[in-house]
Structure 1
């Protein structure tokens, strides 16, 4: 399905989802075992909050992984910071992503509104998009967190950090997924416009987070490790070459590396927000104009092979710290999201109805024509965050860990459970 068929593809996708969601779920017996879900609190970042299509908005939040778990175990009052309409992106004036099907230009819609900011207690889902690990025990306002407006929307100027806010609920179960933003912010900008948290500092910060939780609550902590972000569509979708229309051969692009144009290779990654640039370069190639150094893609939109290796080494070190916390009984169960995301890239995920979904979001044929894979992808249009189906798989990974470690028998999330 090519770019000009996007509107038809969306119709087909909508019908497919509606059909899937019309299935009747089985009446499986639910046992939470040793887990007491009286007060379930989820801590983390955008992946916990339920960000999708580049924004936090209600239609995606309803299928955040914590919300799916809460519905599965019948928690009646699980509250999230609901963002109505198009919600909010990482800039407070913008909402969810929209892609122009003709030019493939990426833009953000207008921001939405906060729907339940007057809730007279802390939210159960305290995932704060863009938050770093140290900010969880330091930041009480957005100013304390690199002007992150989500801190103010979710903590609502209560004068507490997100950990302190969580403790006001007296949690009985905690899920924790932190560390992604400590490396992701740098990686999505080509390792040239932001710094990452050194692994030794991350280890100390993680220990501080766990110390607060372990000393001030008896709630079991189910924690996830960090996926290899270089394997999500933001990094893997755009090739480092365009196609020659004469013979479909690869014509490699130039990218800015260390301040100078460099011919890219298959081991260099062109980042997702370079899609309009790539589309323009392919169009020029189709009209006989070869890409040269003068058309080099910005350094912030290229992750070269050396930088890819650096990102992966940092993530491996972060995950060693998380594994060490498990070994030291500072967390009670580990969710291996890193392995899960690697498996999704290789073999995808098959649901109960036989449908298989993969991490591929877009692709290109031998003429350089863009192919959209919205009907089978697990990721949203930002290339970084899952769609509702992807979040269902994340929820199932947490449920598997709960079942394996707490004598629970919680059924997996099915497509029919999505709203």
Structure 2
């Protein structure tokens, strides 16, 4: 699963008669991105009114009269990544933005794209008319200044409270180390970071820098795990060295960060990692349907192999010729087993969950939450069924990975429950049914 452009080529045949009894077969490249389209930037959604005035005074320390401030730190979850991209609609309905609205904060600043460039990085629409799983890509009214290297228009504000970006803290500034592409081309993900922050302190791992630049007058921190990087590493197991990734240097900065800020009274919420190999993205193409064709070489297949939606996989499904499957096309059963152990035992039980217990911090159990949703057993407090099916459900966005606006509201409500329980606040939950009617 070496990260090259995930738009390889689909083979189809054109029959051209040279004489009545002969044909010439010609290969024509086609991508899992079936076409580029233009869609207008949507008007900003007006979030539903809160059910009652929140009481968040206990987030302050004694004798503190400053306006309550919340900061979010992390990757794709808090940034509002959605539909294979980052764009204004996703940012406005991101998890932290929804929570800030329910808290009725005086200000919560996300690095929003301007309305005129509200399609941001561009995003994906699942192609429901295609015979095999594929996407269309929205490419108009973006904030892209240049593609090679990727440069985006800068955020005009002076500071942000939502310190998050796709493949966020946990990676370093070398774009060759950005591994995850939803299906899209290779991009230096720090292009998103540099929209609202200079490159100061990001030559190595930016977490070390951002972790100690949280403003002093911050009262609540939402601390997310870095979903995209871990998905990328799962899709790139050929060059993944667990010993190099999961060493003391990976965990110590997070532990030190929690200790230091807990001492000064910062309230925190932690989030563990869902089992992302359960996500629809990894189940759009089934190995059991490809194996009977007996037309692949390279990576071995079994019923438990996870197929990544690449042009190579799509080519294998439509072609009768031999297709070479690369490491970037599949996650073997053994690789999936290894990463499920990493997620459950290492990242969750021995890290985030351990820190939550050690430092007495609330934790949103994303692992259990996603298992419940994917089992079709989750209803919101206002009675809305959260449908995990893809592409017609309401929890996942059109990339089959990131949550939709409804999914973000579900996670936001689970966060609010933890804040109220641990810090004795009274923050109303989002009426998800009302939100759904406004989308």
Pairwise TM-score range, normalised by the shorter structure: 0.7 to 0.9
Equivalent pair of 1:66/1:395 in contact (CA under 8 Å): yes
Give 1:238 deviation, angstroms. 2.3
The 3 A distance-change label for structure 1 pair 355 and 403 is: same
Structure 1 CA distance for aligned equivalents of residues 337 and 382 of structure 2: 38
Q: How big is each residue's C-alpha offset from its partner over 1:61-94, in whole Å with a ceiling of 9 and x where there is no partner? A: 11100000000011132110112445444xxxxx
Structure 1 CA distance for aligned equivalents of residues 296 and 397 of structure 2: 26
**2:238 aligned partner:** 192
Unaligned runs of 5+ in 1: 1-13, 15-20, 90-94, 244-249, 362-372
**2:58 aligned partner:** 34
1:302 counterpart (311, 330, 333): 330
**2:13 aligned partner:** none
2:368 counterpart (339, 353, 358): 339
Q: Does 1:50 align with 2:69?
A: no
Q: Does 1:119 align with 2:119?
A: no
Structure 2 CA distance for aligned equivalents of residues 266 and 98 of structure 1: 29
Give 1:151 deviation, angstroms. 2.2
**2:124 aligned partner:** 97
Structure 2 CA distance for aligned equivalents of residues 283 and 355 of structure 1: 39
Structure 1 CA distance for aligned equivalents of residues 296 and 275 of structure 2: 23
Q: How big is each residue's C-alpha offset from its partner over 1:8-39, in whole Å with a ceiling of 9 and x where there is no partner? A: xxxxxx9xxxxxx9997673453336224711
The 3 A distance-change label for structure 1 pair 22 and 64 is: closer
Equivalent pair of 1:124/1:166 in contact (CA under 8 Å): no
The 3 A distance-change label for structure 1 pair 172 and 252 is: farther
Equivalent pair of 1:183/1:311 in contact (CA under 8 Å): no
Q: Does 1:400 align with 2:429?
A: no
**1:312 aligned partner:** 340
Higher fraction of helix: 1
Give 1:99 deviation, angstroms. 4.0
Which protein shows a greater Rg? 2
1:209 counterpart (231, 242, 257): 257
Unaligned runs of 5+ in 2: 1-41, 61-66, 145-151, 179-187
The 3 A distance-change label for structure 1 pair 352 and 405 is: closer
Q: Does 1:150 align with 2:192?
A: yes
Superposed, 1:18-417 pairs within 5 Å as: 27-28=51-52, 30-32=54-56, 34-36=58-60, 38-84=68-114, 85=117, 87-89=119-121, 95-103=122-130, 104-106=133-135, 108-110=137-139, 111-112=142-143, 117-120=155-158, 122-133=159-170, 147=188, 148-157=190-199, 163=210, 166-168=213-215, 170-189=217-236, 191-195=237-241, 197-198=245-246, 200-214=248-262, 217-242=264-289, 251=292, 260-262=298-300, 264-271=301-308, 273-274=309-310, 281-283=316-318, 289=320, 294-316=322-344, 317-319=346-348, 320-329=350-359, 332-352=361-381, 354-361=383-390, 373-374=391-392, 376-415=393-432, 416-417=434-435
Give 1:268 deviation, angstroms. 1.3
Equivalent pair of 1:202/1:318 in contact (CA under 8 Å): no
The 3 A distance-change label for structure 1 pair 358 and 297 is: farther
The 3 A distance-change label for structure 1 pair 377 and 74 is: same
Structure 2 CA distance for aligned equivalents of residues 347 and 204 of structure 1: 37
The 3 A distance-change label for structure 1 pair 348 and 169 is: farther
Q: Secondary structure at the match of 1:378?
A: coil
